[in-house]
Homo-oligomer: A and B are copies of this chain.
Amino acid sequence: MAKAPTVQDVAERAGVSRQTVSNVLNTPDVVRPGTRDRVLSAIDELGYRRHGPARRLRLRRSSTIGIRLDPYVGGISGVVLDRFVHAVTERASARGMRMLVYSARSAEEEYTRLSELWDSSEIDAAILTGTVRDDPRVPLLDERALPFVSFGRPWGKDDIADPRHLWVDVDGAGGTRAATKHALAYGSRVAFLGWPSGSGTGDDRERGWLEAMRAGGVGGTRLTATEDVAAARGAVAQSLDDGFDADAIVCVSDTLAVGALLALNAAGRRMPVIGFDNTPTADALGFSSVEQRPEDVADGVLTLLMGRTGDVVVPRRPQAGTAHVLIEPELVVR
């Protein structure tokens, strides 16, 4: 194979200095158009390829953000995370950043993977998703000083308010509060179909229902099922057998809403069912659902990482009050 052409080769071919070639590559605005065209022609003719790793080596920066892409497990609501990854990829591109995706099967594997990428300077920062109570990734990444923003609150003792931990989240309680207020128009008996207690996200969404019911001076039945259509269908069918009745059901997810609808259908019953996530399934089946606005989450994450206008700064010591973004979800009524 022939030796790859160098900047020197381009400079000779175009009859300019190496500095001029470098200017055309890095700050083309300072080069006169005629000269610029000559250099670009030489680049084309010689097939010169600019070498990204060399540039990054000089800058000691990768301009790359890492994000985990979980192994696919199916389910209706996984689409929200995919929408977020799509949106963050698009917006990062617009800011001149690359997105590197990696897979991991556990928090530990994710930490190992991120450490490798960080140690070899492949990434400048990471975006965490799927946060859980006392998330084990948070102290580990803190120790490494690896900058990160999470989609989802870390939900630890004092993590949520800690300005060192940047996060963007959706106000789940606000979403179910809006859904419940809407459902109360159909009658005072608004039931909630939630996940078993103990998940930060699920408890938060249940709180919104409770608050709206209390504000309306009413109470309602609470049913639970794991995140599975058949489980939700079974739980609602069993409750109907046991005499459960309501004017509407607010659900913690579209998955559970589909299960509730199937159980009601099979029992020949009809009542409004409201889901959470506004998935394509909710759209296809025509039930109302709370929209999480993952595109706005993506905007929030990149703004926290890079600043509103900046393209490089990873704020290592953000100010309290500017470290957290809570997105207000929106009820899509069908």
Contact = CB atoms under 8 A, between A and B. Distances in A.
Given A99-B100, A102-B98, A74 B280 contact: yes
A77 to B, nearest CB: 9
Interface string A281-310: 101111000000001000000000000000
* Chain A binding surface, main DSSP class: helix
A70 interface: yes
A69 B286 CA distance: 27
Contact of A54 (B57, B76, B102): B57
A122 B102 contact: no
Interface residues of A, number: 52
Given A229-B284, A281-B76, A284-B76, A103 B121 contact: no
A229 B283 contact: yes
Interface of A: 49-57, 62, 64, 69-72, 74-76, 78-79, 82-83, 85-87, 89-90, 93, 98-103, 113, 118-122, 229, 255, 258-259, 262, 280-281, 283-286, 295
Given A85-B101, A89-B101, A262-B284, 18 more contacts: A53-B62, A55-B120, A64-B100, A69-B86, A69-B89, A72-B295, A76-B280, A76-B284, A78-B82, A93-B113, A98-B122, A99-B101, A99-B102, A259-B284, A262-B285, A262-B286, A280-B281, A281-B284
The 6 nearest A-B residue pairs measured at CB: A52-B120, A90-B103, A53-B53, A72-B86, A53-B56, A229-B284
